[in-house]
Amino acid sequence: MRVAIEKMREALVAATPPLLAFAAFLALWEWAVWQWGIPAYQLPAPSVIARKLVDDRALLFSSLLVTLSITVQAFLIATVCGVLLALAMAQSKWLARIVAPYAIILQVTPIVAIAPLLLIYLAPQQAVLVCAFLVAFFPILSNTALGLASVDHALLDLFDLYRASAWRRLIYLRAPAALPQFLAGLRIAGGLALIGAIVAELAAGAAGQGSGLAFRIVEAGFRLDIPRMFAALALLSFSGVAIYGALSLLSYLTLRRWHESARGRGF
Amino acid sequence: MKPLVSLRGVEKRFGSNPPVLRALDLDVHPGEILTLLGPSGCGKSTTLRLLAGLAAPSGGAIHWADPALQKGLGYVFQDPTLLPWRDVFSNVHLPLQLAGLSREAAAPRVEEALALVGLLNFRQSLPRELSGGMKMRCAIARALVTRPALLLMDEPFAALDEVTRFKLNDELLALKSTLGMTIVFVTHSVAESVFLSHRIVVLAADGGEIVEEIQVNPRAPRDAEYRLGPTFSDLSRHASKALLRAMGEKA
């Protein structure tokens, strides 16, 4: 208990300087807007954005829910597919050779360019889901495959010595050994799933469809409602941070007992 | 006495490189501590891997008195090779777990092995919480938990400081007198080989031919006095000369 309190105190101390810097930045922004009388349609003050967040909360939060629910769905599907494919690739070198180039092509092709195409073939919601899935899938696949493949050779010898079956080798050795890389992949994929969803929503929004938060940004832009654009952006930013934070916490809680990455580093 | 295992004309090569082992003939007798001594790359670790079935010979034959011996042997690697996410108990449980024995069913044997190496009070510790010597003790307990008749040890103490190495040498001899297993021990330390062995086989740097076989009286008490006595220094000098010859230099 005392250790936990001590840790929280340390975390608070560590978080104070960046929070202070952010507060100072907001104050400077607020001051500049009032000082030079900048109109809200050019640059709204933080206080105006905050008021907009409160006033438009019903619209903005229901849109956020749409975006987040698609992001989470895409992320979960990407996790299941990425892990299953990585496991299959670890069992079969042939499969790995066949899949690897396509996975890389998928990864290096800009998602912004794929989104309009997806919108031709799929309903907007489905297109957003597929888009978010496509960007989240690769880091999970590549990280998990890397983790499964880079098990210490001496440990493999040990399992050879005791004639472990492929299944036991997987659950007792490869899977736990791959956990750190898998979790790192999850952290990357979480943020990317949100980006993929937003990109697809923007593409769909430009065509006048959709109801996610990115669509609200586009819509507010058309109406020159700049404070609402900022409010929606702030919500997206906060969601991204929350996703990253949640996945970092998951990684920390899973690895803290034994893995160096979860010990003594906070980023 | 019939050897536990005999290597006859065993050859091992990797790809098109010159062979690591060229026609090695070696017998391992029941109950002995046999040390393979030689410079780096002489094939001593390869010999252990061949015995353990972790590698297949490119030529020659390995005869086991009882084939079940090979399946049940213990192996201690150069590094402790512990699973970092498992505590000491679970690491030692692993060989039995891989044989299908549950944690509860295996507990008495795991605890017995932990008691033998003095780690019973550390059963819930993770490897990162142990010192180098304790990690190696844990690896030894894991090798012993299957009660092997033959224990293969591949430079297990090479990475440890001298004080810890001496201590673990003493402990290994105590384990040997309690359990009576046969040990094949690989080292490049002359002192360690003379202290532990009943028989030292010195392998040549190039091709792993046997340069010399040195007999050590198995009944000589191995204690601190032995390390300081004339027998130990004579044998050490003898083994050092053989090692120099093994490296292709004039003794």
Which of B78, B79, B95 is closest, CB to CB, to A162? Answer: B95
To the nearest whole angstrom, how far is the Cα of A77 from the nearest Cα of chain B?
28
Which pLDDT score is estimated for A68?
94
What CATH number did the domain enclosing A166 receive? 1.10.3720.10
Query: In this predicted structure, which of A109-123, A207-221, A230-244, B161-175 has the lowest mean pLDDT?
Result: A207-221
Q: Do A160 and B54 touch (CB under 8 A)?
A: yes
Q: Which two tokens stand for residue A40?
A: 């809200």
Q: Do A176 and B85 touch (CB under 8 A)?
A: yes
Beta strands in B29-84 (DSSP E): 33-37, 59-64, 74-76
Specify if A267 maps to a domain: no
The residue in chain B having the minimum alpha-carbon distance to the alpha carbon of residue A255 is: B85
Quick one: angle between helices A175-206 and A226-255, nearest 10?
170
Which pLDDT score is estimated for A204?
81
Is a pLDDT exceeding 50 seen at residue B250? no
Which pLDDT score is estimated for A191?
92
The residue in chain B having the minimum alpha-carbon distance to the alpha carbon of residue A165 is: B98
Is B55 in CB contact (< 8 Å) with chain A? Answer: no
Residues in A closer than 8 angstroms to B99, CB to CB, are 162
- Name the average pLDDT for chain B: 91
Is B215 in CB contact (< 8 Å) with chain A? Answer: no
Distances from the Cα of A61 to the Cα of A56, A132, A206, A230, B107, angstroms: 8, 20, 21, 14, 55
3-class DSSP state of A39: coil
Which pLDDT score is estimated for B198?
93
Same domain for A25 and A134, yes or no, is: no
The pLDDT of A84-103, averaged and rounded, is: 89
Which of B52, B77, B94 is closest, CB to CB, to A154? Answer: B77
Is a pLDDT exceeding 70 seen at residue B247? yes
Same domain for A128 and A202, yes or no, is: yes
Which pLDDT score is estimated for B217?
83
Specify if A75 maps to a domain: yes
To the nearest whole angstrom, how far is the Cα of A80 from the nearest Cα of chain B?
23
Same domain for A57 and A90, yes or no, is: yes
Which pLDDT score is estimated for A211?
81
Specify if A24 maps to a domain: yes
At residue A263 the predicted structure's pLDDT band, cuts being 50, 70 and 90, is: low
Which pLDDT score is estimated for A267?
44
Q: Which two tokens stand for residue B34?
A: 């046999």
Q: What's the domain range around A197?
A: 42-262
Does the domain at B29-57+65-73+148-251 match CATH 3.40.50.300? Answer given as yes
Q: Do A154 and B81 touch (CB under 8 A)?
A: yes
- Tally of domains in chain A: 2
Query: In this predicted structure, which of A34-43, A253-262, B199-208, B230-239 has the lowest mean pLDDT?
Result: A253-262
Is a pLDDT exceeding 70 seen at residue B62? yes
- Delimit the CATH 3.40.50.300 region(s) of chain B: 29-57+65-73+148-251
How is A18-31 classified by DSSP, letter by letter? HHHHHHHHHHHHHH
Which pLDDT score is estimated for A92?
86
pLDDT tens per residue, range A4-41: 788 788 888 888 999 999 999 999 999 999 999 999 88
Is a pLDDT exceeding 80 seen at residue B33? yes
- Which one, of A100, A242, A260, lies nearest residue A180 by Cα? A260
Same domain for A142 and A162, yes or no, is: yes
